[in-house]
Amino acid sequence: MIKEGKFGAQEAVCLITVTITSKVFFSSPAIIAGLIGNTGWYTTLISAAVALVGFCFIYLLLKRFPGKDIVEIFDIALGRVVGFIFSGILGIYMLFISVTRVNELSEFLKVYVIPLSPNWLIIGIFIACIFTLSLLGLESIARLSKLLIYALLAGFLVVLLLGIQNYNINNLFPIFGYGLDKIAFQGIVRSSVYGEVIILAIFAKSFQGVKFIKKEGITGILLSAAIISVSVLSYSLTFPYYVVQEITAPMYAMSTLIDYGRFVQRVEPLFLYVWIIGSFISATLVFYSFIWIFCKTFRIQDKKPIIIGSCTILYATALMHKDIISIILGYVVLIRNFGSLPLFVLPLIALIAALIRKKGGNLNA
Amino acid sequence: MNLLFAVKNIIIYKEPKNNQRFELLEDEKEDMEISKPAETPEATDSNCNSDEKDSAGSPPKQFKKLIRGLIKTGEPKDRSKVTTDVKSDQNKDDVNHICKELKNNMQKVKQEFHVPTNQDIVIREFKIMQKINAFIVYVDGMVDKNTINDYILRQLMAEQKNNKNTKISVDYITDNLLAINQVIRQTDYEEIIKQILNGLTALFVEGNQECVLIESRGYEKRSVSTPLDESVIKGPQEAFTENLRTNLTLVRKIIKNKDLVTEMMPIGKAENTTCAIMHIKGITNPKIVQEVKRRISSIDIDFIAGDGGLDQLIEDHPFSLFPQILSTERPDKTASFLIDGKVAIICDGSPYASIAPITFFRFFHTSEDTTLRWQFGTFLRLIRMVAAFLATFLPGLFIALTLYHQEMIPTELLFSLSKARENIPIPTILELLVMELFFELMREAGVRLPGAIGQTLGIIGAIILGSAAVAAGIVSPILIMVVSITGLCSFAIPNYSIAFGVRIMRFIFIFFGAIAGFYGIAAGIIIFGGLACSMKSFGVPYFSPVAPKTKANHDIGIMAPPWTLKERPDFLNTNNRKRTSGTVRGWIQQANRGNGK
Which of B408, B523, B534 is opposite residue A136, by nearest beta carbon?
A: B534
Q: How many interface pairs between A and B have CB atoms less than 8 angstroms apart? A: 113
Beta strand B121-128 with B132-139: parallel, antiparallel or unpaired?
A: antiparallel
CB pair distance less than 8 Å for A263 and B523: no
What average pLDDT does this structure show over B24-38? 49
Average of per-residue pLDDT across B217-226: 84
Residue A48: pLDDT band (50, 70, 90) is very high
Residues B410 and B535 in one domain: yes
Q: Which of B491, B525, B541 is the last residue of a domain?
A: B541
Predicted ipTM? 0.91
Please write the tens of the pLDDT for every residue from B236-255: 899 999 888 899 999 998 98
**pLDDT at residue B50 tops 70:** no
Closest CA–CA distance from residue B393 to any residue of chain A (Å): 13
- B323 occurs within a structural domain: yes
Chain B residues close to A140, C-beta within 8 Å: 530-531, 533-534
Q: Do B534 and A143 touch (CB under 8 A)?
A: yes
Residues B148 and B250 in one domain: no
Q: How many domains does chain A have?
A: 1
Q: Could you read off the pLDDT of A153-208 as tens digits, one per residue?
A: 998 898 889 889 999 999 888 888 888 888 999 899 888 899 999 999 999 888 88
Domains contained in chain B, number = 3
The 3 state secondary structure assigned to B17-62 is CCCCCCCCCHHHHHHHHHHHHHCCHHHHHHHHHHHHHHCCCCCCHH
Residue B580 Ramachandran class (φ > 0 left, ψ -120 to 50 alpha, else beta):
beta
A334: CATH? 1.20.1740.10
* Position B270 confidence tier, pLDDT thresholds 50, 70, 90: low
Percent of chain B whose pLDDT exceeds 90: 30
Please tell me the predicted confidence (pLDDT) of residue B332.
93
In a domain, A2, yes or no: no
pLDDT of residue A275: 87
Chain B hits for A128, CB-CB cut-off 8 Å, are 523, 527
Half-sphere exposure of B87 (CA within 13 A, CB side): 4
Q: Are B387 and B523 in the same domain?
A: yes
Q: Do B410 and A125 touch (CB under 8 A)?
A: no
Q: How far apart are CA B263 and CA B293, in angstroms?
A: 9
The contacts found for A164-169 with CB under 8 angstroms, 24 or more apart, are A165/A258, A165/A259, A165/A260, A166/A237, A166/A238, A166/A254, A166/A257, A166/A258, A167/A234, A167/A237, A167/A238, A168/A237, A168/A238, A169/A237
Chain B interface test: which of A120, A144, A264 (most B C-beta within 10 Å): A144
> Are both B151 and B258 inside the same structural domain?
no
Residue B106 falls within a domain, yes or no? yes
- Among B14, B19, B50, B548, which Cα is nearest to B317's? B19
Average pLDDT score, chain B: 81
Q: Please give the residue range of the domain that contains residue A132.
A: 9-357
Q: Of the candidates B358, B390, B409, which is a domain's last residue? A: B358
Minimum-distance CB partner of B531 among A10, A136, A305: A136
Q: Is B410 close to A265, i.e. CB distance below 8 A? A: yes
Smallest Cβ–Cβ distance between A146 and the set B401, B525, B547 belongs to: B547
A194, part of any domain: yes
Q: Which of B410, B520, B529 sits opposite A125 (nearest CB)?
A: B520
Distance CA B593, CA A55 (A): 54
Residue A242 lies in a domain: yes
Range of the domain at B133: 102-160+167-215
Residue A252 lies in a domain: yes
Residue A300, chain B, CB below 8 Å: the answer is no
Same domain, B287 and B326: yes
Question: B358, B383, B412: which is the final residue of a domain?
Answer: B358
Is residue B489 located within the same domain as residue B457? yes
The upper half-sphere exposure of residue A43, i.e. CA atoms within 13 Å in the direction of its Cβ, equals 33
Domain for residue B565, yes or no? no
Enumerate long-range contacts of B422-427, CB under 8 Å, 24 or more apart.
Answer: B423/B473, B424/B473, B424/B474, B424/B475, B424/B476, B425/B473, B425/B474, B426/B474
pLDDT category of residue B232 using cuts at 50, 70 and 90:
confident
B408/B332 same-domain check: no
Confidence of residue B476 (pLDDT cuts 50, 70, 90): confident
Q: Output the pTM of the full model.
A: 0.81
User: B518 and A272: CB-CB below 8 Å?
Assistant: yes
Q: Which residues of B touch A (CB under 8 A)?
A: 13, 15-16, 401, 404-405, 407-408, 410-413, 515-520, 522-523, 525-527, 529-531, 533-534, 541, 543, 546-549
pLDDT in tens, B200-217: 999 999 988 899 999 988
Residues B141 and B249 in one domain: no
Cβ distance B520 to A122 less than 8 Å, yes or no, reads no
Question: Is pLDDT at B395 greater than 50 in this prediction?
Answer: yes
